[in-house]
Amino acid sequence: MGFDDICNTGLGLGIYRQLPQNGHIHQQQKMKKKQILKYDHLLPSLTLGPSEDHAMTSASKADDIASKVYGDQASSISALSSFSNSSSVKKEREVIGDEEDQELELERVSNSRVSDEDYEDQGSPRKKLRLNKAQFATLEDSFKEHSTLTPKQKQALAEKLNLRPRQVEVWFQNRRARTKLKQTEVDCELLKKCCETLTEENKRLQKELQELKSLKVAAAAPLYMDMPAGAVTSLTMCPSCERICGGGGGGGDGSSTVPFSTLGSKPHFFNPFTHPSAASC
DNA sequence: GCCCAAGATCCTATTACCTCA
DNA sequence: GTTGAGGTAATAGGATCTTGG
């Protein structure tokens, strides 16, 4: 039996990790969302019409829809011809930082409230928002509390950070993806180490097996000359305590070697994670 | 109660922008 | 000034669930 056999039969090397936002928690959040949406009109900055999500992505994203979606910010949208101006993009690059000028920030945010159709109509490239440190810190803090957002939380964050709810949503999606990717990398490293440990363990066991075989041949005649053949062939050694044990439930002078009496009949593998010290008898 | 369409959100993969060495 | 790599916002598509007809 080789190492591959051991891995295939005795170890689950999957790296999947269940994320907490799955399952019923997710559904509860959706339920909350539905309840909240019923009263969207009561929220200060919400408007009637399609969600910001669809206003940004569906085929019907026209300027009039954008104005419905973003309400009082429609003027910013309609005035975003400046957005297609490369100079405004350059300006944005310069203002990112701790003490970002508030007016420029507001302009930047307003410019970011542009529908895809606006990009297409004006042939301008997709603009990329850069969060400033304060926005980033707030989002991070919120993410630490809960990796998913209720619509209410999303709206509140968006208002607090002067971002679109859709941007907050996207940020959380990407943040979850990054977290999962990091965790996958960690798991991968862990599995590599596991593989190395098992390889070493396998080598060690193979070596011990060879030693035991030679020992059995050399010692069988003088030590077990009077013993039945079956007792001799079941001679085993515990890989951890390295005591020689007789097979068949402790035959002969098995009183001192009984703890390892089952090794001869059953595979005896050690999980390096559950038994870091290769386990003891 | 069952079926179906619509709506919302999620995840995953990918694209595209931006910064930096 | 150019370029390639890396980070990340944004987009697209599919899956899942709830809700209402």
A38 CA – C8 C1', rounded, Å: 34
CATH code of the domain made up of A22-175: 1.10.10.60
At residue A35, what is the residue type? Q
pLDDT digits (tens, 9 = 90+) for A211-267: 999 988 887 766 555 555 544 444 455 545 445 544 433 333 333 333 333 333 334
Q: Which helix (H) or strand (E) holds A182?
A: helix A165-223
Q: Tell me the average pLDDT of chain A.
A: 55
Q: Which residues are within 7 Å of strand C by their Cβ atom?
A: A 27, 30-31, 34, 56-57, 112, 116, 119, 126-131, 136, 166-167, 170-171, 173-175, 178
pLDDT digits (tens, 9 = 90+) for A4-41: 333 333 333 433 333 333 333 333 333 333 333 322 33
At residue A184, what is the residue type? T
Question: Quick check: A38 and A44 in contact, CB under 8 A?
Answer: no
**Helix crossing, A165-223 with A133-145: angle to 10°?**
60
SS3 content of chain A, % helix, strand, coil (to 5): 60, 0, 35
Question: Quick check: A53 and A82 in contact, CB under 8 A?
Answer: no
Please state which of the ranges A37-46, A125-134, A248-257 shows the lowest mean pLDDT: A37-46
Strand B within 7 A of A180 CB: yes
A16 CA – C14 C1', rounded, Å: 20
Q: Which pLDDT score is estimated for A226?
A: 55
Give the pLDDT band (50/70/90) at residue A138: very high
- The yes-or-no verdict on residue A178 having pLDDT over 80 is yes
pLDDT digits (tens, 9 = 90+) for A194-214: 999 999 999 999 999 999 999
